[in-house]
A and B are shown apart, each in its own frame.
Chain A
Amino acid sequence: MHLTSEELVDIAEGTRSENSAPHLAGCHVCREQLVDLQSMLSAAKDVDVPEPSPLFWDHLSARVSAAVAMEDDSARRKGSRFLPDGLRVLVDALMSQLGGRAFQASVVLAAAVLLVVLVGGRRPAPAVTEAPVVATAEPRVDPWVVPAEDDASLTVVASLTDGQDLETVREAGLAPRGSAEHAVNQMSDSELRELRRLLNEELARSGA
């Protein structure tokens, strides 16, 4: 009885000795098959893979990393579908800036906008008065407007954005159309809470 394919493979690869298959010595067919197997194994092994440049490996890692980041970003966007439009605009703007100066700038800007809202408080709708508006020579004073030098939140913004030039801000994609600020101004309290949670999460993740 001839050797099975399994036995021939084992002998050809050397994991089984020829002595363990006495049939082989007297069988021309099996012997020929074994020689063919060994010859093809050797031919296949001789085919080498050209070695890529040593720089290639880091390049490959960077490509994978970028693709994974994009994947992550996409997953987050899907996850934020439930968010109101205004909040999603801001979150998307932040998420799209992952990496480098742009991300840093966007985090700083978003944090600044958030601080303005949270520290400064939101302006309630002005009360409707029944008294007729009378034009006067004196400048009108809005009780909700705090002089810039007295506003602590503006100081915080100034310190956070110090060193961020207009170019950086533009690269970050948040200004000048005021999309982030506009979005924040349109938010309800619950949306603001969600924004704060997302920003904290992002700041913690980026180690900022």
Chain B
Amino acid sequence: MPAVDSRSLEDLGERELVEACRAGRPGAFDLIVERHRRAVYLLCYRFVGSHEDASDLSQDVFLRAFRGLRSFRGQSTLATWLYRIGVNVCLNRVSAKDTLRRLTTPIEAQQFVDVRAELPSDLMLRNERNARVRAAIARLPRKQRATLILRTYHEMSHQEIADVLGSSVGAVKANFFHALGSLKKLLAETA
């Protein structure tokens, strides 16, 4: 039986924190949430394009992580493991049709962006362009969408994406290539 680590939770590294969680140490899982909540939320938001849905999905991701913590072997980083759960939750829960419907009405999103330094005409053009790109990304096939999101917005390496998606680096690069190609076609359709 491993010795109980008496250090403050803040001082624990990732693996030790996971062990603390498994041992039922109060606050350990809360700290994991605190450290990863932003990344998980942003990932979910990129998939669904809605603050409310991204919040719900983030909660679901962490709940699944809590349930599955005992099976976390530490073969990847905790972040990669959480991304894997996040991608699965997002792809399984949200159909492209739903996402598309939300993304074509990005009024809610516009309210949060800092636009103080932007001319109204520029802002309108930018919002319009962003909405088209979001909608096009939402229409990408599942693996292409996941690859594009993880690579472009989360700056994950191809290897990390391969770990998350359970594929090879070559497949990830091919997916990325096709995702960008599909994006061009979809944007051309809506031009």
In the assembled complex, how far is the CB of residue A190 from the closest CB belonging to chain B, in whole angstroms? 26
In the assembled complex, how far is the CB of residue B172 from the closest CB belonging to chain A, in whole angstroms? 9
**Stretch binding the partner chain, chosen from A38-46, A122-130, A154-162:** A38-46
Q: Is B17 an interface residue (CB 8 A)?
A: no
Contacts of A24 in B (CB 8 A): none
Report the interface size for chain B: residues with CB under 8 A from the other chain: 47
Select which of A5, A45, A56, A205 is within 8 A of B152 by beta carbon: A45
Contacts of A71 in B (CB 8 A): 63, 66-67
A205, B24: Cα distance in complex, Å:
9
By DSSP majority rule, is chain A's interface helix, strand, loop, or mixed? Answer: helix
Over the window 53-88 of chain B, the binary record of Cβ atoms lying under 8 Å from chain A Cβ atoms (1 yes, 0 no) is 001001100110011000000000000000000000
What is the chain A residue whose CB lies nearest that of B55?
Answer: A60
A-B contacts, 9 listed (Cβ < 8 Å): A5-B173, A36-B180, A37-B177, A44-B152, A47-B130, A49-B45, A64-B63, A67-B62, A68-B29
Query: Known pairs A46-B130, A50-B110, A67-B62. 13 more at Cβ < 8 A?
Result: A40-B180, A40-B184, A44-B180, A44-B183, A45-B153, A46-B133, A49-B45, A51-B113, A52-B112, A60-B37, A60-B58, A64-B37, A68-B63
B176 contacts A9, C-beta separation under 8 Å? yes
Contacts of B113 in A (CB 8 A): 48, 50-51
B134 contacts A9, C-beta separation under 8 Å? no
A43 contacts B33, C-beta separation under 8 Å? no
Contacts of A61 in B (CB 8 A): 30, 33-34, 37
B46 contacts A49, C-beta separation under 8 Å? yes
Select which of B38, B59, B134, B180 is within 8 A of A63 by beta carbon: B59
Q: Is A57 an interface residue (CB 8 A)?
A: yes
Contacts of B24 in A (CB 8 A): 205
In the assembled complex, how far is the CB of residue A8 from the closest CB belonging to chain B, in whole angstroms? 6
B137 contacts A65, C-beta separation under 8 Å? no
Contacts of A67 in B (CB 8 A): 59, 62-63
A6 contacts B133, C-beta separation under 8 Å? no
Select which of A10, A44, A68 is within 8 A of B148 by beta carbon: A44
Select which of A37, A52, A68, A207 is within 8 A of B66 by beta carbon: A68
- Contacts A44-B152, A67-B59 known; A37 to B180 CB distance under 8 Å? yes
Over the window 1-30 of chain A, the binary record of Cβ atoms lying under 8 Å from chain B Cβ atoms (1 yes, 0 no) is 000011011101000000000000000000
What is the chain A residue whose CB lies nearest that of B32?
Answer: A64
In the assembled complex, how far is the CB of residue B112 from the closest CB belonging to chain A, in whole angstroms? 3
A44, B186: Cα distance in complex, Å:
13
B152 contacts A41, C-beta separation under 8 Å? yes
A198, B109: Cα distance in complex, Å:
49
A25, B58: Cα distance in complex, Å:
46
A52 contacts B137, C-beta separation under 8 Å? no
What is the chain B residue whose CB lies nearest that of A50?
Answer: B112
Contacts of B183 in A (CB 8 A): 40, 43-44
A6 contacts B170, C-beta separation under 8 Å? yes
A4, B91: Cα distance in complex, Å:
28
Q: Is B174 an interface residue (CB 8 A)?
A: yes
Q: Is B142 an interface residue (CB 8 A)?
A: no
In the assembled complex, how far is the CB of residue A173 from the closest CB belonging to chain B, in whole angstroms? 23
